[in-house]
Structure 1
Amino acid sequence: MTRFGYTLMTEQSGPKQLVEYAVSAEQAGFDFEVSSDHFSPWLSSQGHAPNAWTMLGAVAHATQNVELFTYVTCPTMRYHPAVVAQQAATLQILADGRFTLGVGSGENLNEHVVGKGWPTIARRQDMLREAIQIMRELFTGDLVDWKGEYFEVDSARLWDVPEGGVRIAAAVSGDRSVEIFAPLADDLIAVQPDKDVVDKWHEARRATGLPGDVRVVGQMPICWDPDREAAVGRAHDQFRWFAGGWAVNADLPTTAGFAGATQFVRPEDTASSIPCGPDLDAIVEGVREYKDAGFTDIALVQVGDEGQDRFLAEAAQPLLSKLRDELG
């Protein structure tokens, strides 16, 4: 059965609001919730960037059954992997086993703040590989010493380790990342409905003797609003950065950079890639692309803090019913 999720978008809402939305999303019937992990919003108009881990701890306490993901954390620059392992283990205990650690190779927007420069994608992927290996060691609860190419760990042990450990989902986009992370991660994260990537992930796992059919978690932005014109305007104001694609989005360092890079993106360009307005069928058709590409889980991003309560109160339940009827 396909699972449908809700995105706690830290770039567009404050921490208290995000916790409230998490509770409302669970009550509306979403199966899981994913949280971005940003130090900065994409565009200044979004206006927020609370700490994801603090917020998720509150969400774990405020919700009962909904699954939780980081989507995604970069455990290589802004955070040392030993620190992420401790955060993830603690959150898993607070969530009673509902948490999956989603990791990725990061974006310059968030990682440059610690002043370490911005490595090439190949180097970032190699750093992430080593970070996952370190976190796996720490999740055992054993004493860990590590001296690798990128990281050192000196006599570290997690004293509070969740029963059953922590699942890891890795964000991938191409052949090299699939080759590296398919044997290391439990689940796949991808933000484009690319069937070729999904199939190669399953094949790479089977080739190493691991189960091939694991969870494939995608994400799709929408901008629901009874007024389509208002929805298009909000999507353009706050989500036009999405038009750049991840090859560009990973490398720009500031909100000013994203504003400059997207200055010629028109509202109609944004609306062509993001379902805008009250039409639930348009959202279903967008999600169908992920389902057809082999995704088992699709998280929706409702664009903008404004209107979030109305979306959860008026649109979420009928949308979920339609999604489950047609794609579930």
Structure 2
Amino acid sequence: MTQLGYTLSSEEFGPNELVNQAERAEEVGFDFVSVSDHYHPWLEAQGESPFVWSSLGGIAASVEEIDVAVGVTCPTIKTHPAIIAQAVATTAAMVPEKFYFGVGTGELLNEHVLGDHWPEHRVRLEMLEEAVEVMRELWTGEQVSHHGEHYDVQNARLFTLPDEIPPVCVSAFGERAAQGAAEFGDGFWSVGPQDVVEDWEDAGGEGPRLTQLHACVADSEDAAVATAHEQWANSGLPGELAAELPTTAHFEQATRMVSEEDIREGSIITEQSADAHIESIQEAIDTGYDHVYIHQIGADQEAALALYENEILPSFD
């Protein structure tokens, strides 16, 4: 059965607002919420980047039945996987239902802040695989010493553990990464109805399959396009730019190439009808995703929440 979720955008809102949005998403009837993990927003206009594990503590303490996810975290460079393992275990112990843990190879935008080297993607994928191994060792509750190619852990033990270890859902946007995700992940994470999930399945991937859809519900399609262009023009950047640009200033420069027409014709849902959302969700389901969550771009979150409560969620009951 497909689960429908709502995005809590750490790039656009502070922690208290994210908690309030999680409560409202549960009230509306969403099956889960997923919060993004960033050190910086993509663009200055987005304006926020709270520490996600603090936000998750507030969210977990405020909701009653809804599932919670974080997507996606990079547990390889800025933060050691032993620390992320403790954060995940604590959060999962607080979540009333189920916690989904999304991981990826990260973006230079967030991972460069301590001055560490930013390796090529192949190496980052190797680091991610070892990081997941370290975290799983720690989630056993046993004392762990690990001396690998990328990470060292000495005499570490997690005493606070959840009743159920969350699935590690690995993000991938290409065939090679999808194959790696199938080898060491418990699930799959993507953005949009991308058919790379088929590569993951062909490589033997099993578990939950999550994807995010971007949208802007506004007074008109033109208003939606304008808001999405101002707040989320980064969605129009091609190739690997999103992973390789180091600062919001560089994203500001790069997104000058993205026009409002690019936004109108791109993947963001700007058409102002429930049918447009229903069709996009159904396309993602047909592609193979069983967890689809919507990201409402801009300050007016209630516009999307009301639309989903009244017209969209009932159509998937």
Normalised TM-score (structure 2): 0.95
Q: Which amino acid aligns with 2:308?
A: A
In structure 2, how many angstroms separate the alpha carbons of the residues matched to 1:202 and 1:65?
30
In structure 2, how many angstroms separate the alpha carbons of the residues matched to 1:106 and 1:31?
26
- Inter-CA distance 237–173: structure 2 relative to 1 (3 Å threshold): same
The alignment-based identity, stated in percent, is 38
Q: For residue 261 of structure 1, what is the aligned residue in structure 2?
A: 254
- Inter-CA distance 260–319: structure 2 relative to 1 (3 Å threshold): farther
Per-residue CA deviations over 1:280-328 (Å, capped at 9, x if unaligned) read 2112222232112111111100001x2113332x212124335516xxx
Q: For residue 45 of structure 1, what is the aligned residue in structure 2?
A: 45
In structure 1, how many angstroms separate the alpha carbons of the residues matched to 2:251 and 2:186?
33
Q: Which amino acid aligns with 2:50?
A: P
Structure 2 contact 72–104 (Cα < 8 Å) conserved: yes
In structure 2, how many angstroms separate the alpha carbons of the residues matched to 1:323 and 1:270?
27
Q: Which amino acid aligns with 1:12?
A: E
Which of 201, 218, 223 is the matching residue for 1:225? 218
Q: For residue 198 of structure 2, what is the aligned residue in structure 1?
A: 199
Structure 2 contact 30–313 (Cα < 8 Å) conserved: no
Which sits farther off after the overlay, 273-282 or 182-191?
Answer: 273-282
In structure 2, how many angstroms separate the alpha carbons of the residues matched to 1:106 and 1:3?
25
In structure 1, how many angstroms separate the alpha carbons of the residues matched to 2:38 and 2:244?
14
Q: For residue 102 of structure 1, what is the aligned residue in structure 2?
A: 102
Q: Secondary structure at the match of 1:295?
A: coil
State the Cα distance separating 1:203 from its structure 2 match: 3.0
- Inter-CA distance 2–308: structure 2 relative to 1 (3 Å threshold): same
Runs of 5+ unmatched residues, structure 2? none
In structure 2, how many angstroms separate the alpha carbons of the residues matched to 1:179 and 1:161?
30
Q: For residue 91 of structure 2, what is the aligned residue in structure 1?
A: 91
Structure 1 contact 11–47 (Cα < 8 Å) conserved: yes
- Inter-CA distance 181–275: structure 2 relative to 1 (3 Å threshold): closer
In structure 1, how many angstroms separate the alpha carbons of the residues matched to 2:301 and 2:118?
34
In structure 1, how many angstroms separate the alpha carbons of the residues matched to 2:104 and 2:228?
25
Per-residue CA deviations over 1:180-229 (Å, capped at 9, x if unaligned) read 2213211111114233x222322322xxxxxx552110011000113322
- Inter-CA distance 213–120: structure 2 relative to 1 (3 Å threshold): closer
Are positions 1:241 and 2:240 aligned together?
no
- Calculate the aligned-residue CA RMSD, in Å: 1.5
In structure 1, how many angstroms separate the alpha carbons of the residues matched to 2:177 and 2:311?
33
- Inter-CA distance 323–258: structure 2 relative to 1 (3 Å threshold): farther
Q: Secondary structure at the match of 1:283?
A: helix
Structure 1 contact 140–165 (Cα < 8 Å) conserved: no
Q: For residue 35 of structure 1, what is the aligned residue in structure 2?
A: 35
Q: Which amino acid aligns with 1:291?
A: I
Q: Which amino acid aligns with 1:292?
A: D
Q: Which amino acid aligns with 1:145?
A: S
Q: Secondary structure at the match of 1:299?
A: strand
Q: Secondary structure at the match of 1:46?
A: coil
Structure 2 contact 217–303 (Cα < 8 Å) conserved: no
Which sits farther off after the overlay, 7-16 or 277-286?
Answer: 277-286
Are positions 1:6 and 2:19 aligned together?
no
Q: Which amino acid aligns with 1:7?
A: T
In structure 2, how many angstroms separate the alpha carbons of the residues matched to 1:137 and 1:261?
41
Which sits farther off after the overlay, 284-293 or 60-69?
Answer: 284-293
State the Cα distance separating 1:116 from its structure 2 match: 0.2
Structure 1 contact 198–294 (Cα < 8 Å) conserved: yes
